[in-house]
Amino acid sequence: MIVVGGGASGTQHLMEIAPYAADTWWVTRRPPVFAEGPFDEDRGRSAVAMVEERVRQGLPPLSVVSVTGLPVNDAVRKAREDGVLDRLPMFDRITPTGVEWDDGRHVEADVILWATGFRAAIEHLAPLRLREPGGGIRMDGTRAAADPRVHLVGYGPSASTIGANRAGRGGAGDRAAAGGGARGRVKGYTSSSGGPCDRTPDGLWNPGFSVRRSPAALAAPATRRAARRRSRSRH
């Protein structure tokens, strides 16, 4: 089996599979950077700050692992000692029986496991001309600097589950501060894996919602639920 990808998912899959596979190979585009010591709050904040600095400059975000490194624990140390995490450079082509490099090297494999991360799907926003000359979208919090109506939750420093949740709350707060309803329009929302999206009831965009609602309409479901509870309690 060949595992492609230098992030946490790739290394963790490799370490789980290696004891059971006849052979495993680890292939990455760049040499991995192993980070000793705990990934504590200070390191987390530092990583987020590095990503924020890039997006403030209008540069494309780097991969997560290029900022965080690969945290080293006992399992990783053992895998490195056993040769499981001996890395090969990216191959040049896939053959009927495996993969091949331009130098003639060939590895046979039954399975290629792609653990290559994710990239923000924002091509559908091209007509808004949000990109800077550096190739990225300059951000101010969750807002695109070129069009403050556009919130990109899951882009840049919010490209993680925790980060996206936090950024989503921030975007919803900005939406509420803007007045909500039809007049306080937020033009768009995207996630690291999302495509074209529709608006959610809170004014952001998300798959599955396409109807813009006023604050009164947003409150209506909760009001109806409360009325049903009162009715049940009386009976």
pLDDT tens, residue order, the chain (235 aa): 999 999 888 999 999 999 999 999 999 998 998 888 777 778 777 878 888 888 888 888 877 777 788 888 899 999 999 999 999 999 999 999 999 999 999 999 999 999 988 777 888 999 999 999 989 999 888 889 999 888 888 788 777 666 777 778 877 887 777 765 434 444 444 444 444 333 333 333 333 323 333 444 444 445 555 555 565 555 5
In a shared domain, residues 91 and 191: no
Residue 20, in any domain of the structure: yes
Residue 164, in any domain of the structure: yes
pTM for the model stands at 0.63
| pLDDT given at position 43 | 78
| pLDDT given at position 85 | 95
Residue 74, in any domain of the structure: yes
Angle between helices 74-81 and 8-17 (to 10 degrees): 60
In a shared domain, residues 102 and 25: yes
In a shared domain, residues 109 and 8: yes
Residue 55, in any domain of the structure: no
Residue 64, in any domain of the structure: no
Residue 156, in any domain of the structure: yes
Cβ neighbors of 227 (< 8 A, separation 6 or more) are: none
In a shared domain, residues 13 and 99: yes
Residue 61, in any domain of the structure: no
| pLDDT given at position 181 | 44
| pLDDT given at position 226 | 59
How many domains is the chain built from? 2
Residue span of the structural domain in which 20 resides: 2-33+69-114
In a shared domain, residues 94 and 150: no
Sign of the torsion angle spanned by Cα atoms 165, 166, 169, 170:
negative
In a shared domain, residues 18 and 90: yes
Residue 191, in any domain of the structure: yes
Which of 205, 53, 36 is closest to 140 using CA atoms?
Answer: 53
In a shared domain, residues 83 and 127: no
In a shared domain, residues 75 and 146: no
Q: Are 177 and 204 in contact (CB under 8 A)?
A: no
In a shared domain, residues 77 and 135: no
In a shared domain, residues 99 and 165: no
In a shared domain, residues 92 and 153: no
**In the listed set 114, 144, 168, which residue is the last one of a domain according to the structure?**
114
